[in-house]
Structure 1
């Protein structure tokens, strides 16, 4: 599984679980500030925890020393696709394009909303209402706030209602509610295909209004007068979905929450679920990576080296004991030969596999050069992308360079080559290091 796919899986699983916990247990409660903290934490944690290597932070048993494999592994004879063979449909690549396209559309939409707000700011003019600095709007829109600025058209309100609007928007500004809104919008851009992120965005916007309503009413304001003002203000057009409006539909939900009795302190225990939820998510994906299939992983000894294999060190026959004595830091590369390739490189042998080890000190030894040329002769060049350094070359040019090549070439499978070079490497790629 690719790193991006694994990241998206982890992040979206977390978003779903946080949304379930919020709507099932926390939304009915009147602890609105705690709900705000929960929702912000849910969005931030879901985005960041997949990036942390939890397994590396946990104590565990020491892993056996394994020889590095810096060169393409098992040399086996595999029929290559012809140059005229039709390309297979890349499902993962297509889904990646759809994901990126959806995110790009929503990102452009977000930028458009920000530009619309900037244009509205430039059309407005500074003013004062009841000692509060505002931006005076000429258009008939509902009063709102964004960042640390309140925007409204005083002519749209009666004097009593105007005071309520100012008090309402002052709470939004004082508590920096625009940060929450922008965070939710960015989460939608990143995980737009997940219904949970849309629910969390709505929950966050809704909860911010619950916070403001609660604080405004705690000042001793008559709740019915406040609710009637919200009802009348709902007839005005909203300015932008990014801003904090005086009214936020549905009003029925807000009025119901205003008239709801405060939640009992006993219900605070529900927030304790956050601890096992975050720990469970953090540990669920921690641990060793997927094991190699049995068909490709040779039996290994306690030191991590294959059993019953021929050993060659720097092009010369050696024993497993010689290999065990090598310092891994001194090893330049390891090849594992199996099948028909074994006889082509080492001649007649009854062995079924061989371990070819090259040390950094003897990379240019005559025996190593001779061995590398035999290995290079096994690489299938037909229909593959051929590169010398970072420059694509023809088959004839590549074969000419290959004849004098003393180092091993790098052969990439079709899947790995397409990830690195795109559609032009449909049949795989072969690379020679250095510039042409």
Structure 2
């Protein structure tokens, strides 16, 4: 509805300009039919002109108020950012009565407009019904191609469609000139003009200019009909006296009204006026620059969507064309975040599952997430939607801010070009989210954006020594300070399928036993390991290097869904 209201505003502005143009340049000429066509075409132009959408590269003082009104009318909701939400404007919950309320401006205007349009429709309907009732109850006679309607009560003569309404008194006295006048209305199809202006009036009932244009059109009808009567050979003086007599005789009270006096005076003046020079029609060409000006004012300032992205990229000082830069950039971003605070540092080894989104690039070059292959073309949008929704949901349900981390596991034989392409796509997803935040908040500083949505993307190669093909002897001789045969107490591991069944459950085990159990499980299962979830419970007294090695074993087996709980 907001778009329609804004259209009415633009159309109304066009009507005001057109009325001024017509009144100053056209209304005094004797080109009655030309003026009539001009007025009708002008009304149609004022209807269609606002529908033409143009853009301009420069915003002037003329565009600013219209653009502001457009934003108000288009918005169905008004956003009120409370202090907690001010730090993350992109993640405002859609249904939160504390920060989002209905924008009553377009709603109220739409209601008022609807009531006015309904009232106008009722008024037009009543007028039409009264007209039909008058025709049905009055005496009717054939008059050439038309039908005479002769009511007994005093009625000002008029015509509509194929009917000419004339009172019994006028019909018995001065009927010839009156009937000729009304016949001219019907020959020139003035009824169609009135139907068009009535429909136009129904839409623009609130605009006084439309009512003025309707009056102009009715006056042109009268001028054209009078001119037609004079051209048939009727004595002009006699005809003018008849007009005066009808005005002061049968409608003495209405003569006191200034509008009727002015209308009668205009009709007589037009009959006596010298014909306008035909070259005066060229004044209509002045409408061309007027239309061009209207289109320019209505043009929307061009919004450069890539501007915010460019600003953020410049702030990040990233060179996307250099393969090595993407690895260095991601490493620098991660280290800067982890060094920022002790809380951030903990995320190196302790992260909730809902914060972590791990993608796997298998030996065939497929990108796997949650057991499903993802096309490179869809990767960016999937990542954006996933991490933004995760952060928004956590904020809404738990009222905490959680950073989002993306991991990329890849095999040693993964082509460098594919890895760089995937990392660049993931980086671009983060940058576009930060761009939206910068546009919404008006703050595009890197420090601010790092606080709102840090870029945390960690590529990790699945090392050969971590794969589960090693024998027990190799485990014993591996270059590590960790004892793979030491029993680990206080650590529970569960591997759970999608249907909730526990496939492996281990307590008080050694790392060697864990690797052996997982190896046997993998050899007996032919599906994708990404479909399983690992539950890991750790007592506070356990060594973190043991936990890290357990995670490494699980990650090497592509068991990436980890629910971590420290007791």
Name the TM-score, length of structure 2 as normaliser. 0.48
Partner of residue 215, structure 2: 202
CA contact (8 A) 2:152 2:167 kept: yes
> In structure 1, how many angstroms separate the alpha carbons of the residues matched to 2:311 and 2:179?
73
CA contact (8 A) 1:142 1:233 kept: no
Partner of residue 11, structure 2: 11
> In structure 2, how many angstroms separate the alpha carbons of the residues matched to 1:213 and 1:351?
79
Quickly say closer, same or farther: Cα 1:44–1:330, change in 2 above 3 A.
farther
- C-alpha root-mean-square deviation of aligned residues, in Å? 4.6
Corresponding residue to 1:75 among 82, 91, 100: 91
Structure 1 residues 46-93: Cα deviation after superposition (integer angstroms, max 9, x where no partner): 2233234466xxxxxxxxxxxxxxxxx92158995459x9x7882332
For residues 145-224 of structure 1, the aligned pairs below 5 Å read 145-157=159-171, 159=173, 161-224=174-237
Quickly say closer, same or farther: Cα 1:74–1:283, change in 2 above 3 A.
same
CA contact (8 A) 1:141 1:237 kept: no
> In structure 2, how many angstroms separate the alpha carbons of the residues matched to 1:25 and 1:15?
15
For residues 28-427 of structure 1, the aligned pairs below 5 Å read 28-53=28-53, 74-75=90-91, 81-82=97-98, 90-128=104-142, 133-157=147-171, 159=173, 161-234=174-247, 235-236=249-250, 250-287=263-300, 297-299=308-310, 315-316=357-358, 326-327=376-377, 334-335=384-385, 337=388, 344=402, 346=404, 352-353=452-453
Displacement, 1:128?
3.6
SS class of match (1:74): helix
SS class of match (2:149): strand
CA contact (8 A) 1:299 1:307 kept: no
Structure 1 residues 259-314: Cα deviation after superposition (integer angstroms, max 9, x where no partner): 111111231221112333334334542456667899xx554689xxx997989xx9
> In structure 1, how many angstroms separate the alpha carbons of the residues matched to 2:17 and 2:383?
45
CA contact (8 A) 1:209 1:248 kept: no
> In structure 1, how many angstroms separate the alpha carbons of the residues matched to 2:95 and 2:116?
39
Displacement, 1:134?
1.5
SS class of match (2:276): coil
> In structure 2, how many angstroms separate the alpha carbons of the residues matched to 1:165 and 1:250?
17
CA contact (8 A) 2:2 2:106 kept: no
> In structure 1, how many angstroms separate the alpha carbons of the residues matched to 2:275 and 2:191?
26
Quickly say closer, same or farther: Cα 1:316–1:114, change in 2 above 3 A.
farther
Name the TM-score, length of structure 1 as normaliser. 0.61
Question: What stretches of structure 1 of length at least 5 have no aligned partner?
Answer: 56-72, 239-246, 357-364, 371-436
Partner of residue 407, structure 1: none
Displacement, 1:147?
1.5
SS class of match (2:90): coil
CA contact (8 A) 1:39 1:204 kept: yes
Question: What stretches of structure 2 of length at least 5 have no aligned partner?
Answer: 56-88, 253-259, 319-328, 334-355, 361-366, 368-374, 407-448, 457-527, 534-567
| Structure number, greater radius of gyration | 2
Quickly say closer, same or farther: Cα 1:367–1:251, change in 2 above 3 A.
farther
CA contact (8 A) 2:157 2:167 kept: yes
Displacement, 1:10?
1.3
* Number of matched pairs: 323
Displacement, 1:179?
1.6
CA contact (8 A) 1:140 1:237 kept: no
Higher helix share: 2
